[in-house]
């Protein structure tokens, strides 16, 4: 008997008033016949993001758009944990709210998981069919250098370690997330490396990543230091 | 086994081979002493090569930015029509 699947899409937001509306529209455009709920974990955005979410609930229904807000910025890892508590699906998708992750890839994730039975399907920007737009040469260089370093040290089994566009079986996400301690993109690395070490079946799908439609993301010295610290932590504890 | 333990085991095996090479004098001593240096330099070169190759082959998708803009326009139209404030950003 075919199991009924429901996908809970957790989107942590902070000041994403416009992007969250665009994302919700695009999600329903690309997977109209899939049983989903979008859980928006907003950390007290001052720009009125939560008001927009309430308007979206009028359009799409408050059974499919869940607003589970928090009082202030409390970190990415805890945002996922918070979202997970309210997730009623048997699968969980995590994605960014700034439109760098395009909902048009959701059918690819779902299809890959159903075909392979994977525990985790992770989006990768670094293979043919995937790609990045909006990065300077310097940014690409640091990304590539970071990737080579991480692969040499950790042998992670995935091509995109810091990616945060992923589909998890809910039970698998719950298992991994409880043991993760890092923050930011090191958190994403820790999640996938932990999963790999625990022997979970991980598949990849190519995704394209358009960086920051409205604004530009920075990669400064402190981020690099954080990354290196994270690598060393993962090297010695995994 | 923890990953670091695997790496340590590998390094110890390589070191053991190196020491035995020193002992048996199959290769001239001067060469053997330099082997660890060669190894590290090779590793460094390999790393740089991988970075360079990866950089050259870095997949880009300029057309995606165009598609995204089209999606944004479509989305804004629908949302405005349905009472969601997409304002002027």
Q: Residues B51-66: pLDDT tens digits?
A: 999 999 999 998 998 9
What confidence score (pLDDT) does residue A218 get?
58
The alpha-carbon gap from A69 to the nearest alpha carbon of chain B, in Å, equals 19
Query: Across the interface, which of B4, B84, B87 has its CB nearest the CB of A236?
Result: B4
Q: Residues A66-103: pLDDT tens digits?
A: 999 999 988 888 899 999 999 999 999 999 998 999 99
Q: Residues A162-188: pLDDT tens digits?
A: 889 999 999 999 999 988 888 777 888
Phi then psi dihedrals of residue A163, to 5 deg: -65, 145
Give Rg (Cα) of chain A. Answer: 17
User: ∠ at Cα A127 (A159, A196), nearest 5°?
Assistant: 20
Question: CB contact, 8 Å: A141 with chain B?
Answer: yes
Euclidean distance between CA atoms A102 and A19, whole angstroms: 11
State the complex-level ipTM: 0.84
User: ∠ at Cα A117 (A92, A29), nearest 5°?
Assistant: 45
Distance of CA B81 to the CA centre of its chain: 46
Q: Which parts of chain A register pLDDT below 50? A: 1, 214-216
Query: Across the interface, which of A25, A55, A128 has its CB nearest the CB of B83?
Result: A55
Is A102–B2 a contact, with Cβ atoms under 8 angstroms apart? Answer: no
* Closest chain A residue to the Cα of B80, Cα to Cα: A21
């Amino acid at each position: 008997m075919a199991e009924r699947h429901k996908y809970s899409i957790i989107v942590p937001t902070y000041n994403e008033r416009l992007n969250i509306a665009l994302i919700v529209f695009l999600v329903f455009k690309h997977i109209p016949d899939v049983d989903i709920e979008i859980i928006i974990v907003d950390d007290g955005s001052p720009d009125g993001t939560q008001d927009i979410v309430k308007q979206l609930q009028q359009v799409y229904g408050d059974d499919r758009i869940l607003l589970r807000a928090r009082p202030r910025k409390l970190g990415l890892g805890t945002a996922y944990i918070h979202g997970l508590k309210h997730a009623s699906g048997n699968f969980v998708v995590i994605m960014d709210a700034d439109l760098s992750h395009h909902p048009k890839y959701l059918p690819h994730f779902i299809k890959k998981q159903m075909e392979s039975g994977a525990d985790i399907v992770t989006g990768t920007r670094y293979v043919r069919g995937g790609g990045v737009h909006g990065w300077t040469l310097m940014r690409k260089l640091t990304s590539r250098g970071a990737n080579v370093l991480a692969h040499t040290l950790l042998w992670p089994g995935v091509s995109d370690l810091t990616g945060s566009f992923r589909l998890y079986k809910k039970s698998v996400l719950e298992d991994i997330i409880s043991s993760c301690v890092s923050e930011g993109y090191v958190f994403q690395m820790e999640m996938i490396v932990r999963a790999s070490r625990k022997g979970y079946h991980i598949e990849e799908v190519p995704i394209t990543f358009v960086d920051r439609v409205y604004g530009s993301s920075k990669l400064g010295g402190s981020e690099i230091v954080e990354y290196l610290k994270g690598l060393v932590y993962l090297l010695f504890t995994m | 086994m923890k990953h670091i333990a695997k790496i340590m085991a590998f390094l110890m095996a390589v070191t053991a081979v190196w020491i035995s090479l020193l002992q048996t004098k199959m290769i001239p001593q001067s060469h053997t002493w330099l082997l660890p240096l060669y190894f590290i330099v090779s590793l460094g070169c390999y790393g740089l090569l991988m970075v360079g190759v990866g950089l050259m082959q870095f997949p880009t998708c300029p057309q995606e930015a165009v598609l995204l803009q089209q999606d944004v326009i479509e989305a804004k139209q629908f949302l405005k029509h349905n009472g969601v404030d997409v304002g002027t950003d």
